[in-house]
Amino acid sequence: MTPLLKVENINKFYGGRIGCADVSFTLYPGEVMGIVGESGSGKSTLLNCLAGQLEPDGGRVMFDTRAEGMKDTVSMSEPERRMLGRTDWAFVHQNPRDGLRMGVSAGGNVGERLMAVGARHYGDIRGKAVDWLDRVEIAEDRVDDRPSAFSGGMQQRLQIARNLVTGPRLVFMDEPTGGLDVSVQARLLDLLRGLVRQMGLSAIIVTHDLAVVRLLADRLMVMKSGHVVETGLTDQVLDDPQHAYTQLLVSSVLQV
């Protein structure tokens, strides 16, 4: 099987400080990988480097493009990378305000990616928008409301619909359940799991919530001070952590 993403020795420095260092891994189609670590461990820096939102200081991010096969997204031209960002990639931000247009209706938010890749039939665009709102459990009669009138959980689901409407193959998620009530989180996780399976999505999820990765991720990467300290199957890393930091992380979770 061809990997979807092959990350080789990604480095990012902020002056003399390490953002992330020597990160390498391979992601196969359909795999969901979690990246955990405390604040400042470099997990968001890494995610932004992978998603083309931040330029790494070294290393390659090879992506299996539809047209040309494996291609380094760090060195490809900006228009090409931005095109990937609208088609094969999706990015779900922690704060839905960063990923939504708050002044545009829910339907317009979902339709934007379609229009960005050339859809020019209003009826079709709207039909797809309504279909996607339904898939993320937003009622059809909210299609013309602006996201500012939505609850936090609804905004996050709208952001997911907006991202998935063009059928991406790789989804980057930065703390997708952060800032949500626990009950809303559960609903979102369930939804994400269903979508990942139905669409055969690959995903990279950054979070500090171990419960989230246990439910969503097949594999886990643990980061500390910009370095990857442990990788493996999610349940193996959580149930039989090998590295001192992972052991500390796992033992620090409050039991309910």
Per CB under 8 A, residues contacting other proteins are 28, 31, 78-79, 82, 86, 101, 104-105, 107-108, 111-117, 120-123, 125-126, 143-144, 186-187, 189-190, 193, 197, 214-215, 218-219, 231-233, 235-236, 239-240, 242-244, 247-248, 251
Q: In terms of CB distance, is 18 or 116 closer to other proteins? A: 116
Dihedral sign (CA 132, 136, 141, 144): negative
We find the least distance from the C-beta atom of residue 30 to other proteins, in angstroms, to be 9
Q: In sequence order, which residues have a C-beta less than 8 Å from that of residue 45 and are 6 or more positions away?
A: 12, 19, 20, 54, 226
Q: In terms of CB distance, is 53 or 105 closer to other proteins? A: 105
Q: In terms of CB distance, is 58 or 244 closer to other proteins? A: 244
| β-pair partners for 101 | none
Q: In what order do the strands lie in the sheet with 219-224?
A: 89-92, 170-174, 202-206, 32-36, 219-224, 227-233
Q: Are 64 and 3 within 8 A, CB to CB?
A: yes
Q: In sequence order, which residues have a C-beta less than 8 Å from that of residue 194 and are 6 or more positions away?
A: none
We find the least distance from the C-beta atom of residue 1 to other proteins, in angstroms, to be 8
Q: In terms of CB distance, is 18 or 215 closer to other proteins? A: 215
We find the least distance from the C-beta atom of residue 186 to other proteins, in angstroms, to be 4
